[in-house]
Structure 1
Amino acid sequence: MGSIGTETPAGPKLPTVKLDTTLTELYKRGCPGDAGRLGWVSCGVTSLVDLTPDFPRNTKFLYQDHAFIAASRHELKNGNGKLQWSLAKKYLSHIAQRDAFVSGNAPVILFNLGQTPEQREHDRRQAEATISVLDPSQRPELIFCPGPAKIPIKEHGIDRLQYKVVLDGLQGYPLTHDVETHWFLNSKAELARSGLPTPRTDIIETDGCPPAPNSCCTLCADAARDTAHLPTIPAACTGPRGQWLAAQTARILSAVQQRAIPFVFKTQQAFGGAGTWLVTTDSQKTALLSCLSDHTPDSDSDPEEGEGLLRRLLSLLTPLNTHLHPTTILLTDLVPNPVADHGLTFIVTASGTAHFLAAAEQILTGDGSSAWVGSTIHYARQDALRARYAPLMQRIAAWVAQRGYVGPVGADVLESSSSPGSPAGGEVFIVDLNVRVSGSVALPLLRGHFVGRGLGCASSFSIVVKGGREEFIAKWRAPFEEGRMVVMSWYEDGEGGESIADVVVGGEDEARLRELVQAVREGTEEVMF
C-alpha cells in the first residue's frame, strides 16, 4: 500500500509529430488522375516458412531474405514456432508499422501475428501506440486482418491497393500496378539489362525447371508431400530432378570459381541487404562457395544440415514461376574507388518525372556483411545532393514509369572517382534499385520536425530492446520529450521479455547525433531483415 500524501511522477509528455507530407499525399500528387481510395499493404514476406496459419510463405514470387539464406535445414519447417514468430514480428508488425507511420490519412493493412482475441488486441495496441504521437490529421486508418487472402477492401471502401513487396495472395485484388511488372522492376537482372548506369554484370540463368516430383522418384515424391519442410530436391536423388539440379549447380559454381576477385555475388530478389556477398579475398570466395554448395556434414552432425543455398533456391523453381527467372544469379564488378554512398528516395509520377525526397547515407552491420540496419540524413546537404543526382533519378523515373509504376522508389548508388581520395563528382553507379517504400523514407518527411528544433541531421535504425516501450521511453525521457527521439515502430513480446523497434534520432550536428545513436545502440541489438 502506498504512503499517504505521495504523488506518482507524471509520465513523459511526448510532442506531437507533424510530418512535412505523407506517402498518400505524395502518391496523389504523382498520380492526380487516380481519385479512388488508396490502401497500403506494408509488410515483408518470406519464401521460407509460413509466417502464420493465414499468412503462407511465397511459392511463386521467391524472395531470398536473410533467414532463407542463413537458416539450417533443421530450422526450415513450419513447426518451428520460434523461427516463424521471429520472422512474423519483423515482417508483419515491425516493417508494417514503420511504413504506416508515414503513410498518412489512408487505410493501411496490417496482418495479425496472434490467433487469439487477446493476441490480436495486443497487435492492435502496439500499432496504435506507435501512431498516437502523429498529428491526428496524418494518422492512418489501421485495418487488421488474418492474411493476404482476407483483406477487407470492400468493407472499407478501398478502390486499389499499393503494396511494398509482392505477396502471392495479392493476385486478384485491384492494385495500383501489376504484380509481375513489379517483380521484374525489382529484379537484379532486370536492372542490369535496363541501360541505366550499373556495374558490369554477368547474368547466369538456370535452364528450364526441374521435372515434377511425382515423375522423378520416391524420394522426391515424399519430399513434395512433406508440407512441414521447405520442399528441396533430396541430395540422394539420382533421377531427372537430381540430374537437373546437379547440372545447374555446376554451372553456377564454375562461374563463381572462375570469376576473378574482387566481385559481388547477388541472388535475384531480396531486401534488407540479403542475397549479396562482397568478395574481395580468397577466403571470402571460399566461404561463398561453401554457402552455395552442399556442405559435407561432420560425422556427428545431422545429415540434413548439408544443404547449400543453391539446392534450396533451385528446388523452388516450378512451371508457375519459371518465366519470372527467380533463380538467376548475378556476378557484378566492384565499383572502383567509391567516394560517395547514398540511398536515394523519390516519388515517380505518372508523367515519368522524379520528385526528390532525400539522399541518405546507409548504415550497414559492423560484421563486414551488407545487411542494412538504418540510414542517416544531413538536411543541409539535401539541396546539393538533389542537384547532383537529379539526372540519374530522372532516368530511373522514366524507365520505371514506362512499365506502369507510380509511387515510392529507392536507389542505392555509389559514386566512383578515377583516383583514390579525389573529391566527389565522378561516375555514379546504381548498385540496387528498390521500386517500393524504402526504409529511409521517413527521414525527409521528418525534416520540419527536426530542423524546427535545431537538429540538422537524423538517423533511423532498428533495434532489439530488453523490456517494453514504457521502460525504453522512460530511460530516454529527455530526448523523447525534446522531440529528438521518435518511435516509428514497436512490438513488445511479453513472453520473450523483449521488443523489436525502429527509432529515429535527431542531432544538432553529426558528432552529437553519433553520440546519441551510439548510446542507444550500446544497450540494444541490431535487427537484420
Structure 2
Amino acid sequence: MGSVEDRTPAGVKLPTIKLDTTLAELYRQACPENAGIRLGWVSCGITSGVNLTPDFPRNTKFVYEDQVLIKAPSHDLNSGNTSLRRSLAKKYLSHISQRDAFISGNTPVILFNLGRTPKEAEHDRRDAEATISVLDPSQRPELIFCPGPSNIPMEEHGLDKLQYKVILDGLEKYPLTHDLETHWFLNSKAALARSGLPTPASDLIETQGYPPPAETCCPLCAVLATDTSRLPSIPARCTGPRGAWLAAQTSRILAAVRARPVPFVLKTQQAFGGAGTWLVTTQAQKTQLLADLAGTTPKSGEGKGKEDGGLLAKLLPLVTKENAHLSPTTLLLTDLIPQSKPASSTGGESEDGDGGGDYGLTFIVASSERAHFLAAAEQMLTSDGSSAWIGSTIHYDRQEKLRARFAGLMGKVAEWVARHGYAGPVGVDVLTSGESSSSSEEGSTGDSGDGDGGGGCFIVDLNVRTCGSVSLPLLRGHFTTRGLWCASSFSIGVQGGRREFIEKWRGEFEEGRMLILSWYEDPREGGSIADVVVGGEDEGRLKELMGRVRESTEEVTF
C-alpha cells in the first residue's frame, strides 16, 4: 500500500476516514448467496465515441450516448485524437474508479491503466493509493490494476465473479453477478417507460432494422469500412442502401419530434451524467433541436445535412445486426413535469424536505426484493441548460423524513429490479412537485412515493448501478460527529496538484470538513481532476465553502 505522504504538504495531519459502512458490506447483506465468494468490483466509466486507450476500446455492442458522443463533432471521434481520448480516460478510468473504490471497502477493486509504460502504471497506482490511504485500514480496498477489460487477472487474484458499474463489451467472457443484457435492459430508458413505475408519460421512437454492412454498400461506404479508427458513419453522399436506410429513419424521427407540442423532453436510450437529455420548453428550442438532430442550421431547414451530419447521423449507424435486439438507438419523447421551483447548480430543497425538488435517491436492492435506504440527496446540474450532473448535496438531519417519504417508491423499484435478477446499488432521479395529489400532465403516472398511489412524484431516470452521490450517506458519521449536518460531493478541475490543493485548504482538511474521494494528477499535461466532499454546519456555511472552492477550480462534467 502506498502513502499519501509524498502527495501531502509537510506537517499536514489528515484525519483517518471511517465510513459508516461500505459497498462490500452492504452487498454481502443484500445478496447472501454471493457473500462467500471473492468478488471483484469494476467501477469505471465507458464511452461509445472513441477508444479510451489502446487496451480499452469503445463499446460497440452496448452503446452509451455519453456527453462526448452527443456533443463532439464526428471528425473528432477518432483514435488519432489523443487529447480527447486522454481527457476521457482520466475521467472514466481513474476519476470514477477511485471515487467508487473509496467507498467499496475491504474488497478487490479493478482499475485500468491510462498508459502502457511502467512509469505510467506506477503513477496511476500511486495516485489511487494516496486517495484511499486516508481510510481506516480495515476499509481499504485491494487495488488491482490491469490494461483493459480483456486483461482482468481473475485467476492471478483468485476472483470468482465480477460486479460492475456500467457494461463493458469486454466483460462478456467473465463470470458476473448479473447478466449483461439484462443489466442493459434495466438501465434503458425504454424499459423504465414500460415498467409500470411512476414515470412521465413517454412515446418511444424505435429504429426500424439496421443498416447493411458498409462493405456491401456503395464505393464510398466500402472505403470508410476500412478505417476502423473512426466512429462508424453513413456519409451524406452515400448512394447505396445504407444512405436510404439512414434517410428513412431520420425522416421518421424528425417527423415525430416535429409533431410533438412543447413542452417536452427528448431522451436517448442509454446515458449517464445527465447526457442524452434535452428539455424543450419553447418553439425556438424545438427548432434548434430539430436542426441539431438533422445536422442543419435552423434557417436552412431540414434539407440535406452537412457532411459531418447531426446527432442522428452519429447515433443511428451504431445499431448493428449484433446489437439491434437491444434497441440502442431508441429515442423517447416524454412529458415535461412542472416543478414548484427550478433545479439549481447549488441545490436548495425546502427546509422540511416536503417541497418540490430534484432528488437523487440511493439505496441497495436485496435479492429478496427489499430496499435498504441510503440517502436522498439533491442533484446539482450545470447552469448552462445542458442538464449535466456536477454533484450532489445532502442534509443529514432530513434523511429520516425523506426515507419515509420515498419508502413506497423505493420498494416498487426494488421489486421490479430484483425480479430481473439484480441485487446491489441503485440510484433513482426523482422529480417532485411538492403536492400529494396528482398534478402531472395527462397520461403521466406519478406517485406520492409512500405507496399510496397519489401523484406529484416521478422517476425521471433509473440508474441500476452506483451513483455519484452514494458516498454521502456512508460519510454521515464522519461529518455529523464534527457538527457538520450538510455535505456535498462534486468534481473539480485544478491547475496544480494534490499537494498544492491540500495546502491551500489545509485548515478544512485537518478539521475533516473537506476530503478527497478521487484525484488524478496528469503527469503529461499538468493539472488535476478530482472529486471532493465538503461539509458545513448548515446549508449556508456549506454553500459558502462550496462557492470558495468553485471560484478557484474548474467545473467537470461527464
TM tier, shorter chain? over 0.9
Q: Does residue 475 of the first structure (1) align with residue 504 of the second (2)?
A: yes
Q: Does residue 405 of the first structure (1) align with residue 406 of the second (2)?
A: no
1:5 is matched with: none
Conserved in 2, the CA contact under 8 Å of 1:460 and 1:503?
yes
**Counterparts of 2:138 and 2:530 in 1: how far apart (Å)?**
24
Deviation (angstroms), 1:236? 0.5
Conserved in 2, the CA contact under 8 Å of 1:74 and 1:305?
no
Deviation (angstroms), 1:467? 0.5
1:503 is matched with: 532
Residue 417 of structure 2 aligns to which amino acid in structure 1? V
1:106 is matched with: 107
* TM-score of the superposed pair, with normalisation by structure 1: 0.95
* TM-score of the superposed pair, with normalisation by structure 2: 0.90
Residue 408 of structure 2 aligns to which amino acid in structure 1? P
Residue 402 of structure 2 aligns to which amino acid in structure 1? L
Conserved in 2, the CA contact under 8 Å of 1:74 and 1:304?
no
2:444 is matched with: none
CA deviation map 1:240-289 (0-9, x unaligned): 11000000011111111111000000000000000000000122112211
- Gapped regions of structure 2 (runs ≥ 5): 1-8, 300-304, 341-355, 441-447, 450-454
Conserved in 2, the CA contact under 8 Å of 1:460 and 1:505?
yes
Deviation (angstroms), 1:11? 2.7
Conserved in 1, the CA contact under 8 Å of 2:288 and 2:297?
no
Conserved in 1, the CA contact under 8 Å of 2:236 and 2:306?
no
CA deviation map 1:175-203 (0-9, x unaligned): 00000000000000000000000000000
Residue 500 of structure 1 aligns to which amino acid in structure 2? I
**Counterparts of 1:401 and 1:81 in 2: how far apart (Å)?**
41
* Aligned residue runs from structure 1 range 337-416, under 5 A: 337-338=339-340, 339-416=356-433
Give 3-state SS (helix, strand or coil) of 1:514's partner.
Answer: helix
* Aligned residue runs from structure 1 range 12-23, under 5 A: 12-23=12-23
**Counterparts of 1:247 and 1:528 in 2: how far apart (Å)?**
34
1:254 is matched with: 255
Conserved in 2, the CA contact under 8 Å of 1:201 and 1:332?
yes
Q: 473-482 vs 152-161, which deviates more?
A: 152-161
**Counterparts of 2:375 and 2:457 in 1: how far apart (Å)?**
16
- Gapped regions of structure 1 (runs ≥ 5): 1-8
CA deviation map 1:217-239 (0-9, x unaligned): 11111111111211101110121
Deviation (angstroms), 1:367? 0.8
1:52 is matched with: 53
Residue 239 of structure 1 aligns to which amino acid in structure 2? G
2:31 is matched with: 31
Q: Does residue 492 of the first structure (1) align with residue 521 of the second (2)?
A: yes
Residue 521 of structure 1 aligns to which amino acid in structure 2? R
**Counterparts of 1:92 and 1:48 in 2: how far apart (Å)?**
15
**Counterparts of 1:361 and 1:304 in 2: how far apart (Å)?**
40
1:126 is matched with: 127
* Aligned residue runs from structure 1 range 208-247, under 5 A: 208-247=209-248
Give 3-state SS (helix, strand or coil) of 1:487's partner.
Answer: strand
1:135 is matched with: 136
2:147 is matched with: 146
Residue 509 of structure 1 aligns to which amino acid in structure 2? D
CA deviation map 1:449-506 (0-9, x unaligned): 0001000010000000000000000000000000000000000013322100000000
Give 3-state SS (helix, strand or coil) of 1:505's partner.
Answer: strand
Give 3-state SS (helix, strand or coil) of 2:521's partner.
Answer: strand
Residue 434 of structure 1 aligns to which amino acid in structure 2? N
Q: Does residue 160 of the first structure (1) align with residue 189 of the second (2)?
A: no
Give 3-state SS (helix, strand or coil) of 1:85's partner.
Answer: helix
CA deviation map 1:116-168 (0-9, x unaligned): 11111000011000001000000000000000000001111111100000000
**Counterparts of 2:545 and 2:255 in 1: how far apart (Å)?**
47
2:310 is matched with: 308
2:320 is matched with: 318
Residue 415 of structure 1 aligns to which amino acid in structure 2? T
Q: Does residue 442 of the first structure (1) align with residue 459 of the second (2)?
A: no
**Counterparts of 2:307 and 2:477 in 1: how far apart (Å)?**
51
Residue 330 of structure 2 aligns to which amino acid in structure 1? T
Give 3-state SS (helix, strand or coil) of 1:171's partner.
Answer: helix
Deviation (angstroms), 1:427? 2.0
Give 3-state SS (helix, strand or coil) of 2:533's partner.
Answer: strand
2:267 is matched with: 266
* Aligned residue runs from structure 1 range 59-78, under 5 A: 59-78=60-79
CA deviation map 1:326-356 (0-9, x unaligned): 0000000011334122100000001000000
Deviation (angstroms), 1:294? 2.1
Give 3-state SS (helix, strand or coil) of 2:289's partner.
Answer: helix
Deviation (angstroms), 1:73? 2.1
Conserved in 2, the CA contact under 8 Å of 1:456 and 1:508?
yes
2:3 is matched with: none
Conserved in 2, the CA contact under 8 Å of 1:73 and 1:305?
no
What CA RMSD, in Å, does the superposition of the two structures yield over aligned residues? Answer: 1.7
**Counterparts of 1:493 and 1:99 in 2: how far apart (Å)?**
20
Residue 23 of structure 1 aligns to which amino acid in structure 2? L
**Counterparts of 1:306 and 1:100 in 2: how far apart (Å)?**
39
**Counterparts of 2:116 and 2:157 in 1: how far apart (Å)?**
22
1:6 is matched with: none
Give 3-state SS (helix, strand or coil) of 2:155's partner.
Answer: coil
Give 3-state SS (helix, strand or coil) of 1:142's partner.
Answer: strand
Conserved in 1, the CA contact under 8 Å of 2:288 and 2:298?
no
Matched length? 515
**Counterparts of 2:67 and 2:94 in 1: how far apart (Å)?**
17
Deviation (angstroms), 1:297? 12
Residue 22 of structure 1 aligns to which amino acid in structure 2? T
**Counterparts of 1:419 and 1:49 in 2: how far apart (Å)?**
42
1:4 is matched with: none
**Counterparts of 1:294 and 1:304 in 2: how far apart (Å)?**
6
Conserved in 2, the CA contact under 8 Å of 1:149 and 1:170?
yes
**Counterparts of 1:154 and 1:451 in 2: how far apart (Å)?**
42
Give 3-state SS (helix, strand or coil) of 2:33's partner.
Answer: coil
Deviation (angstroms), 1:112? 0.2
% of aligned pairs identical? 70
